[in-house]
Amino acid sequence: MNFLTNFERGLATKPIVIGGRNGDHIAVELSQARGYELGSVEVKKFPDGETYIRIHADVQGRDVIYVNSLQREPNESIIETLYTLDTLRDLGARRVVAVIPYMSYARQDSRFNPGEAISIHVLAKLFKSISVDHIVTVDMHLHRIADPSSLFGANFHNITGVRELARYLKKNYSFSKTSTVVIGPDEEAEQWAKVMAEELGGLEYGVLEKTRLSPEKVVIEARGVKVEGMDVVIVDDIISTGGTIVEAVKTLRSMGARDFYIAAVHAILVGDALSKLLRLNPRDLVATNTVLSPISRVSIAPAIAEALDKIL
Ligand code: R5P
């Protein structure tokens, strides 16, 4: 006979961590790092293409952490994530923490052209309808979202993966103020350039100016940054088509920059992005594993584990 209430049961036991198809690698690491119980979710397709979800864990009265990036196949991942989170609630989980290492649609956060959907608002409404307790995400574009907690209807934690990238670079190379500068490829990247520069020992940092002409094409200009004879660490949140980084490297090379270390949090790498980037012949090209890719050599799990320690 079970004498514990659901609340007491949740307090007495470790959380359960469950990974979706784009998050299981991180869920396993979190379970190993913090001793969380590892559950699983079965995701299948019905013959007509609809999504089937079944949770294999007794989540009633327990704190549950569900991890899934909304890439690759963003739309499929969204359905998988929302169905799983709602089912966790329905099965009586005490607290539900959604860890979404990569939040898709965050760049469509405004009506840039008349008639466009503000996609991230729609996605946020869907999350809100499930009312998870916490959402943890990594370097999400929040430039035009003042209050993500109220938009998503959950305590919202936007953590950074740049410190993990810096730790990796520091471990593998040595950088000095006289020979290396950190550059963000656009103004929005200043926050990441600043953190990277601090973590690499107080290097100088600056940003370039980017104008986007289409999803694939950008123009990059450099004003007020000095890179002649310097090695450059380029840091950005996302590499999608690779257009931004390719143009940034071209611009900086034309100004006399030497070697490049390219670091990004989310490696979406669509189409031939990886080969375009490799052709730049960087000293290193690295990303975290928020989205799995051939360059995802840095784990985001330690940063997520720290955030979860504070939340739980
Ligand atoms: C946009 O503002 C982001 O910070 C990235 O710079 C951008 O998403 C990179 O996209 P792409 O690789 O397609 O140029």
Mean pLDDT score, 12-16: 88
Give tens-digit pLDDT for 28-51: 999 999 999 999 999 999 999 999
- Whether residue 230 is predicted with pLDDT greater than 60 in this model: the reply is yes
pLDDT recorded at residue 143: 86
DSSP-derived pairing of the beta strands 284-288 and 260-267: parallel
- Whether residue 3 is predicted with pLDDT greater than 80 in this model: the reply is no
Catalytic option among 44, 128, 210, 217: 210
Pocket test for ligand 1, best of 142, 207, 209, 239 (most atoms within 8 A of CB): 239
User: Which has the closest alpha carbon to 292: 32, 35, 30, 73?
Assistant: 73
- Whether residue 215 is predicted with pLDDT greater than 90 in this model: the reply is no
Assess whether 217 carries a catalytic annotation.
no
Q: Comparing 6-160+300-311 with 162-289, is the CATH topology the same?
A: yes
Tokens linked to 216: 């694939």
Q: How many residues does the chain have?
A: 312
User: Would you call 286 helix, strand, or coil by DSSP?
Assistant: strand
Pocket test for ligand 1, best of 105, 244, 270 (most atoms within 8 A of CB): 244
pLDDT recorded at residue 2: 54
Mean pLDDT score, 61-66: 98
Please name every residue paired with 68 in a beta bridge, in sequence order, or none if there are none.
none
Give tens-digit pLDDT for 98-119: 999 999 999 999 999 999 999 9
Prediction pTM value: 0.94
How many angstroms separate the alpha carbon of residue 241 from the centre of ligand 1? 8
Assigned architecture for domain 162-289: 3-Layer(aba) Sandwich (3.40)
- Whether residue 8 is predicted with pLDDT greater than 70 in this model: the reply is no
Q: What CA–CA distance (Å, rounded) separates 237 from 161?
A: 9
- Whether residue 1 is predicted with pLDDT greater than 80 in this model: the reply is no
Give tens-digit pLDDT for 131-163: 899 999 999 989 899 999 999 999 999 999 999
- Which residue has the CA at smallest separation from atom 9 of ligand 1? 239
- Which residue has the CA at smallest separation from atom 2 of ligand 1? 188
Ligand 1 atom, smallest distance to 241 CA:
13
- Whether residue 11 is predicted with pLDDT greater than 80 in this model: the reply is no
How many angstroms separate the alpha carbon of residue 239 from the centre of ligand 1? 6
Q: What CA–CA distance (Å, rounded) separates 104 from 88?
A: 22
Under 8 Å between Cβ of 312 and 94: no
pLDDT recorded at residue 13: 87
Residue 237, ligand 1, Cβ within 6 A? yes
Ligand 1 atom, smallest distance to 218 CA:
14
- Which residue has the CA at smallest separation from atom 7 of ligand 1? 238
All structural domains of the chain with their residue ranges: 6-160+300-311, 162-289
How many angstroms separate the alpha carbon of residue 244 from the centre of ligand 1? 6
Domain 6-160+300-311 has CATH 3.40.50.2020: yes
| Beta-carbon-side half-sphere exposure of residue 103 (alpha carbons within 13 Å) | 29
Mean pLDDT score, 85-104: 98
Residue 15, ligand 1, Cβ within 6 A? no
User: Which has the closest alpha carbon to 184: 202, 201, 162?
Assistant: 162
- What value does the mean pLDDT of the chain take? 96
DSSP run (H or E) holding 253:
helix 243-254
Q: What CA–CA distance (Å, rounded) separates 143 from 189?
A: 11
